[in-house]
Structure 1
């Protein structure tokens, strides 16, 4: 599902949920707070937490509270750029130079309102974006972003990377990282998380 990145080039303020969708390269879906609670993609929710934490906000515990009090909070483009630089990321909606030529001309013609649930969003995205195809490796930048999301979720849930409980968190995101749901894959990702944590230490 192609995103018209140019449509977001001159927006000075983003609602947090919009920035989170765009960061993980998904078209923002306009919903009410109640709908966001039910239909929000897990990866987007975790990205929202990361944005809130890295732009001077605070984490709102619990999904419903997060959605109602934080989803519509606004964050400046400059704050998002500073966050991206801190994380070593270059999301396409903030950095035009990272886009392919055809992406700048693309238009998203899909009726996103017809997507009924998160599973449908994931299915459509996996069919239309080669980077998420299980048979192809994920782009290193995207992989690091997803690892950061997992790390943030684990820390907020009080889960240590050495604990068995972390596997419950990882299983839901392994397909996005380009692996399979096996014990070996989980152990491999745990090691990557530990290495990433050491890398981010001041």
Structure 2
């Protein structure tokens, strides 16, 4: 007998995802209870399971929902119109800080997505990883126009440069995470130190660390 798709009330789906996003972001996967999500969403626990099969299915849907909330508002020109890598990193950092203030739950969930690895079986972990990779795959496409304008040394590949930039962005992300934790009501003016760090990292990246003889 073929599986019959359960009809879903769009308003209930939205309320469930909004509630799940907030609770998963605040409490992480293990400590979040489906009954609490249902209560916040003003639906029965049975509805949550009918719509999303189980808690893990809801978690995967929430990762996708969080990512889409951010992507729906992203101004791609922030990356693509940068004249060089330093401007790209600085503009991307400033823009990400603004987005992080606007979407605290989304960024918290996506930042901590692998902090829950011990809660999952290897099969579940792989599904989480695929969801997360799908949410970050666009980053490389966003920087491609800038890379096309670069004149790299013959012994340096775009992939190597991208991986190094990604490392710098991860470091900046960690600094931002600490700042937001210590200053939950902070704004961009209070984050000038992070912007300066981004510029400093790029200066070292582009010039190297060895002193000329």
Could you tell me the TM-score, scaled by structure 1's length?
0.30
The structure whose residues are more often helix, as a share, is 2
Q: Which structure: larger Rg?
A: 2
